[in-house]
Amino acid sequence: MNKAQLVEAIADKVGGRQQAADAVDAVLDAIVRAVVGGDRVSVTGFGSFEKVDRPARYARNPQTGERVRVKKTSVPRFRAGQGFKDLVSGSKKLPRGGEVAVKKAPKGSLTGGAAATVKKAAAKKAAAKKVTAKKVTAKKVTAKKTTAAAKKVTAKKTTAKKTTAAAKKTAAKKTTAKKATAKKAPAKKATAKKAPAKKSTARKTTAKKATAR
């Protein structure tokens, strides 16, 4: 029996061929994903699927007899349940109609299992991606803020340098002006002192003229 025949066999029980195909695909996908992730899928009365690690070993090529080294690998393994074994061995008979007498899962156990594990793994991956995206965005924003702050500091330093240079130029101009003023001031004082000398000479001349008369 292949997959198509399996779908046809259960089509009448699940309401149609498309529904049966979707159900088979969903079950197989859940089993494969769980086993690949290292989980053990166990169906009571039917069997269990699990991942088995095989260490590196030496084997022989059946055609040439040459010894070949086989690398470490992992393989899937199915172990039939006791109920399945009993039916295959003939110790128990298959019912003529209806479903095989496989033990039902206890109440509440269907909320977990392989499908839940797959959903949890997908949710964890999505959460990890969101956290990573947030960290990257935060780093970009921080880098932009740091760059802007550095530009502002540089601009402030440049403005401060310009202001200092302008202040130095102004101070130099003031100093030059003070020196020039200080040099000119003694000349004026000397002129002011010489003026009284001329007046006294004029007085002496006037006195002499009066005596002569």
Q: Please indicate, yes or no, if residue 77 is contained in any of the structural domains.
A: yes
Q: Identify the CA nearest to 113 among candidates 53, 45, 43.
A: 43
pLDDT in tens, 22-39: 999 999 999 999 999 999
Q: Once rounded to an integer, what is the mean pLDDT over residues 166-192?
A: 57
Dist CA 45 CA 81 (whole Å)? 5
Tell me if 124 is assigned to some domain. Answer: no
Give tens-digit pLDDT for 39-53: 999 999 999 999 999
pLDDT of 3 over the 60 cut: yes
pLDDT score of 169: 72
- The residues pairing with 49 across neighbouring beta strands, listed in sequence order, are 41, 78
Per-residue confidence (pLDDT) for residue 25, from 0 to 100: 96
Expressed as residue numbers, the domain containing 41 is 3-114
Report, as an integer, the average pLDDT of 133-142: 59
Total structural domains in the chain? Answer: 1
The predicted pLDDT at position 197 comes to 47
What's the half-sphere exposure (Cβ side, CA atoms, 13 Å) at 92?
13
In a domain, 210, yes or no: no
pLDDT at position 121, please? 56
Nearest to 50 by CA among 59, 60, 40: 40
Residue 126 within a domain? no
Listed in sequence order, the DSSP H helices in the chain are 3-14, 17-36, 82-89, 113-212
Q: CATH number of the domain that 47 lies in? A: 4.10.520.10
Please report whether residue 139 resides in a domain.
Answer: no
Domain membership of residue 85 (yes or no) is yes
pTM of the model: 0.46
Give tens-digit pLDDT for 71-93. 999 999 999 999 999 999 998 88
Question: Which of 120-129, 166-175, 201-210 has the highest average model confidence (pLDDT)?
Answer: 166-175
pLDDT bucket at 213, cuts 50 / 70 / 90: very low
Higher pLDDT, 190 or 29: 29
Structural domain contains residue 107: yes
- Residue 63 is classified by DSSP as T
Residue 205 lies in a domain: no
Stretch 4-8: mean pLDDT: 94
